[in-house]
Every structure is written in structure tokens, then in C-alpha cells.
Amino acid sequence: MSLPDLSARAVPGAVLTVRVTPKAARNRIVVEDAVIRVYVTTAPEAGKANVAVLKLLAKALGLPKSRLSLIRGETGRDKQVRIDG
């Protein structure tokens, strides 16, 4: 699995807007213009997909997942993730 290098966006305090597709065929991140699309194989049950999204984003950003916080969109497909300093 190759992920795009999002390390340039790893600025403390930055908020990333992502569009999530759960139950995808494979885990991946696609960047189209300013939109970050995250595809995860996990089903959206009891927050499992959110955990998978944060884990995948952390890997692409080159950060530990403990530095990412989901601030909006816990139950929706459009989410906002803050990078904590």
C-alpha cells in the first residue's frame, strides 16, 4: 500500500477536511485538488472506521496517531481532523 506524502500538511493546529469511504476494497488516500479522500476497509460500526481513518492519515502525515483529533463528523462521511502540537 503506497500512501501520498502529506507531511507538508503536518502543521500543528492545522485542520484537515477529509471525505471518507468506509467498506472500500482497500485502504488508500487520494488527494484531488484540495480534497483528501480516505478509503478504509473497515465498516462504520462503533467508531472503528474513524480509528482506521486516523491511523491511515497519521501514517501519511508522518505523525503518531495520538497527535490527530477528530473534531467534526464522527458519524458522517465528511470529517475534520485537527493536528495537535
Neighbours of 43 (CB within 10 A): 11
Q: Is 3 a member of any domain?
A: no
Q: Is 71 a member of any domain?
A: yes
Name the domain count of the chain. Answer: 1
Q: Is 84 a member of any domain?
A: no
Please give the pLDDT value at position 26: 96
Segment 72-85 shows an average pLDDT of 94
Question: Which domain CATH number covers 21?
Answer: 3.30.1200.10
Q: Tell me how far apart the alpha carbons of residues 39 and 42 are, in angstroms, rounded to a whole number.
A: 9
**HSE toward the beta carbon, residue 61, CA cutoff 13 A:** 25
- Predicted confidence (pLDDT) per residue in 16-67, tens digit: 999 999 999 999 999 988 889 999 999 999 999 999 999 999 999 999 999 9
Q: Is 37 a member of any domain?
A: yes
Q: Is 43 a member of any domain?
A: yes
Please give the pLDDT value at position 53: 96
Q: Is 7 a member of any domain?
A: no
- Name the grid cell of 14: 492545522
pTM over 0.85: yes
Q: Is 12 a member of any domain?
A: no
| H/E segment holding residue 18 | strand 15-21
- Name the grid cell of 12: 500543528
Domain carrying residue 53: 17-76
